[in-house]
Structure 1
């Protein structure tokens, strides 16, 4: 994951905690720390959380690591098929001993 996406995800988590506090306890932690909802720093934090949400929209539409690994495994087996053991047949080595 890119560093910008990690920072954005961290800010989204902070925003989610703040919204949870507002919803359950009617307490705005960001406003309490930075001097009220009208303060410049509070508005800056609110804006950064909003931009972080837009940045993380790309995570919503990107494939998960498990899907990527599973697709890579499928491509690997399709690229390198093993025809020698396809039907479970073993090589007949008895003919080699008779020739010696």
Structure 2
């Protein structure tokens, strides 16, 4: 997983937490921090979270990669 995918995953998790707070407690954390839903900065953050979701959609369809575990390397 490269750094762009990690950042996208982090933003997607933030978005999911925001939706959970909104559904359960009627708290929109992103709009509270960035000045309301109609503020330009909040719209940019919402857009970044949406783009991050699209980047992570690519992870969903990615074929399994083989990773070498460090303990397996030391066995040889």
Task: State the TM-score, normalized to the length of structure 2.
Answer: 0.82
Q: How does 1:37-48 map to 2 (within 5 A)?
A: 37-48=37-48
1:64: how far off? 3.0
Deviations 1:8-54 (A, max 9, x none): 00000000000000000011000000110000111011000000011
Number of residues of Structure 1 aligned to a counterpart in Structure 2: 67
1:63: how far off? 2.2
| Residue matched to 2:16 | 16
State the alpha-carbon separation in 2 of the partners of residues 18 and 43 from structure 1: 14
Q: How does 1:1-100 map to 2 (within 5 A)?
A: 1-65=1-65, 68=66
- Structure of higher RCO (CA pairs closer than 8 Å, 6+ residues apart): 2
Task: State the TM-score, normalized to the length of structure 1.
Answer: 0.63
Structure 1: stretches of 5+ with no match in the other structure: 70-100
Instruction: Tell me how large the CA RMSD over aligned residues is.
Output: 1.1
Matched residue SS, 1:14: helix
